[in-house]
């Protein structure tokens, strides 16, 4: 079994109940401050000032949860716009890890908008929420993304459509890449990996399956440290390509960066609205 997919057999010491309680208290205060700021201060801030606040919030949240971020590669520069990030999806922490490194606008599933407080904060940060089962809504979201890209916004999408456990990269759906195609944008793949104190994959960080947000948070709080590594990969030129080609190539290069098998290539058009 490869290093990237192995599970450590040695037990990891979990945090004490006291440590978890302190983290919860600090996290509650951090989110409360952000909520007040977003409601009262945000309307009067410039876009640049909002990005500074978003990045500080993301960095603070990771710090409180003992999530240590490392970044390699080069994020998109301003002179490379229009540009879009595409990443594998492992955890709800992904959005904060990316924002802590390079503030972007996200496209997220509509369920997140209904999360207490967090959903509202994401909306204030410019996240677009998509009804994944409604093709017409996907078209509308693509139009909004394209308008944002042309205005200089940097968007990030998770083309897998669902969250994986981090030991596999699932096939990338292509529908949301249409907006990048229509703008001749550069597509920047981002490989995301979480490891624990033992250096192995941290399965406590992932949000796949039937875990609720509360259950996921409880598991994260038990970890003495979680390390998340973002690797920004060389951009892919969209011009002259088909969106399914782009989805397959982005998925393959991300898998290769994580030392994982490439996702199975789409062989035919599926009924899923995000394909």
Query: Over the stretch 23-58, which tens digit does the pLDDT of each residue have?
Result: 999 999 999 999 999 999 998 999 899 999 999 999
User: Can you tell me the distance from the alpha carbon of 162 to that of 113, in angstroms, rounded to the nearest whole number?
Assistant: 16
User: Can you tell me the distance from the alpha carbon of 201 to that of 198, in angstroms, rounded to the nearest whole number?
Assistant: 9
State residue 275's pLDDT score: 40
The token duo for 245 is: 């080609």
State residue 226's pLDDT score: 97
pLDDT tier at 228, thresholds 50, 70, 90: very high
pLDDT tier at 213, thresholds 50, 70, 90: confident
The token duo for 137 is: 């809504």
Q: Is the pLDDT of residue 1 over 60?
A: no
State residue 45's pLDDT score: 92
Peptide bond into 82 cis (omega under 30): yes
User: Long-range contacts of range 205-214, CB-CB < 8 Å, 24 or more positions apart?
Assistant: 205/67, 205/90, 205/91, 205/93, 205/166, 206/90, 206/91, 206/163, 206/164, 206/165, 206/166, 207/90, 207/91, 207/92, 207/163, 208/90, 208/162, 208/163, 208/164, 208/165, 209/165, 213/92, 213/115, 213/118
User: Can you tell me the distance from the alpha carbon of 95 to that of 101, in angstroms, rounded to the nearest whole number?
Assistant: 10
State residue 13's pLDDT score: 87
Q: Is the pLDDT of residue 64 over 60?
A: yes
What distances in angstroms separate CA 39 from CA 28, 36, 108, 229, one per listed residue?
17, 5, 21, 32
Radius of gyration of the chain (CA): 18
- Residues 84-94 have a mean pLDDT of 95
* Domains along the sequence of the chain with CATH: 17-257 (3.40.1130)
- Burial class of residue 269 in the structure, from the number of CB atoms within 10 Å of its CB (0-12 exposed, 13-18 middle, 19+ buried): exposed
State residue 60's pLDDT score: 97
pLDDT tier at 109, thresholds 50, 70, 90: confident
Q: Is the pLDDT of residue 8 over 80?
A: no
- Residues 225-247 have a mean pLDDT of 95
The share of the chain scoring above pLDDT 70, in percent, equals 90
Q: Is the pLDDT of residue 227 over 80?
A: yes
75 contact partners, CB below 8 Å, separation of at least 6: 101, 102, 188, 232
Instruction: Give the chain's mean pLDDT.
Output: 88
- Residues 214-226 have a mean pLDDT of 94
State residue 132's pLDDT score: 67
Q: Is the pLDDT of residue 6 over 60?
A: no
Q: Is the pLDDT of residue 22 over 90?
A: yes
The DSSP symbol for 177 reads G
State residue 114's pLDDT score: 81
User: Can you tell me the distance from the alpha carbon of 97 to that of 237, in angstroms, rounded to the nearest whole number?
Assistant: 25
- Residues 132-137 have a mean pLDDT of 70
The share of the chain scoring above pLDDT 90, in percent, equals 68
pLDDT tier at 134, thresholds 50, 70, 90: low
pTM: 0.88
């Amino acid at each position: 079994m490869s290093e990237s997919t192995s599970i450590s057999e040695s037990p990891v010491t979990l945090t004490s109940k006291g440590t978890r309680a302190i983290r919860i208290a600090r996290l509650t205060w951090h989110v409360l401050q952000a909520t007040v700021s977003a409601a009262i201060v945000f309307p009067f801030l410039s876009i640049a000032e909002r990005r500074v606040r978003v990045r500080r919030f993301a960095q603070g949240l990771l710090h409180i949860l003992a999530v240590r971020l490392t970044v390699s590669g080069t994020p998109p520069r301003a002179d490379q716009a229009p540009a879009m990030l595409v990443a594998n999806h492992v955890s709800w922490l992904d959005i904060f890890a990316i924002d802590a490194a390079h503030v972007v606008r996200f496209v997220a599933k509509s369920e997140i908008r209904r999360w207490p407080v967090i959903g509202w904060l994401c909306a204030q940060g410019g996240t677009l929420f998509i009804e994944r089962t409604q093709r017409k809504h996907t078209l509308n979201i693509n139009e909004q993304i394209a308008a944002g890209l042309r205005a200089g916004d940097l968007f990030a999408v998770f083309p897998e459509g669902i969250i994986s456990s981090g030991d596999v990269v699932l096939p990338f759906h292509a529908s949301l890449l249409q907006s990048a195609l229509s703008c001749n944008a550069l597509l920047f793949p981002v490989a995301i990996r979480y490891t624990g104190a033992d250096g192995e994959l941290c399965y406590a960080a992932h949000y796949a399956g039937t875990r609720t947000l509360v259950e996921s948070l409880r598991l994260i709080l038990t970890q003495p440290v979680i390390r998340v590594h973002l690797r920004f990969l060389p951009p892919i030129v969209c011009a002259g390509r088909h969106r399914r080609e782009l989805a397959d190539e982005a998925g393959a290069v991300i898998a290769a960066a994580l030392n994982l098998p490439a996702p199975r290539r789409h062989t035919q058009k599926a009924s899923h609205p995000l394909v």
